[in-house]
Amino acid sequence: MGDQLAGKNCIITGGASGIGRATALLFAREGAAMAIADLNKSAGISLVEQIRNGGGRALFTPVDVSRAADCHRMVEHTIHEFGSIDILFNNAGIIRRASVTELSEEDWDRVMDVNVKSMFLMSREVIPIMAQDGGGSIINMASGWGLSGGPKAAVYCASKGAVVLLTKAMAVDHGPQNIRVNCICPGDTDTAMLRNEAQQLGEREEQFLAESVRRPLGRLGKPEEIAQAALYLASDAASFVTGAALVVDGGGLAGSL
């Protein structure tokens, strides 16, 4: 058990699997009380039990982060149980692999709702609470594809590009309230979402993952490695860091113009 987040209360959206789950477990080990928001009820409840069995504090709320009422209920539940919110990790996200001409309007709307609108809704709920309590840290999940375009990922790239600039705008607006706002831009990370991309593209999973490791470090990222970046941004080690887009991608963007 560490103490980098001792006494802190944290919300993680999309917290029941992948990077969100790894981050929740790490934050709990570092002393934070964890509020997990996710649509997957069984996975969320299982994660909370694991954190509690390890001596941590945790709660789960089933949430559709694209719905304002759900976000409000999540924040109210967290305040009722923990009393305050120090860290918000807007991690929930989905991907649809398609070009503009292949994409349905419904898929466009859903990706933008989950990947961008949710951050607006959650932050709108949490920022007044943080400001009243003297500050906090908000971390938004962006992507390397928020900084550089990729094939057959038009709406995903658009959504993650929006996250990068939303992060910067929020940092400007809420720095005077001592609220730091940063985003993480991971490269391909070994999660169920990455493997689902192979299915969407009609590719064999082994071939798809093999292509994903073509980067200077020669491998996929691990969810736990992205979680370490989130811990840095959430902790006092990043006390003078705001408006940053932290690239954690094994060098994938290093050769980009």
With vertex at residue 120, the alpha carbon angle to CA 119 and CA 121, rounded to the nearest 5 degrees, is 90
Q: How far apart are CA 150 and CA 250, in angstroms?
A: 17
In the three-class reduction of DSSP (H, G, I as helix; E, B as strand; rest coil), residue 215 is classed as coil
Catalytic residue among 156, 167, 174, 184, which? Answer: 156
DSSP β-ladder status, 87-90 and 9-13: parallel
Q: Give the Cβ contact number of residue 186 at 10 Å.
A: 24
Token code pair at residue 95? 């991907």
Active site residue 232: no
Identify the CA nearest to 229 among candidates 206, 255, 249, 253: 249
Q: How far apart are CA 154 and CA 156, in angstroms?
A: 6
In the three-class reduction of DSSP (H, G, I as helix; E, B as strand; rest coil), residue 82 is classed as helix
Is there a contact between 185 and 254 (Cβ–Cβ < 8 Å)? no
Active site residues: 156
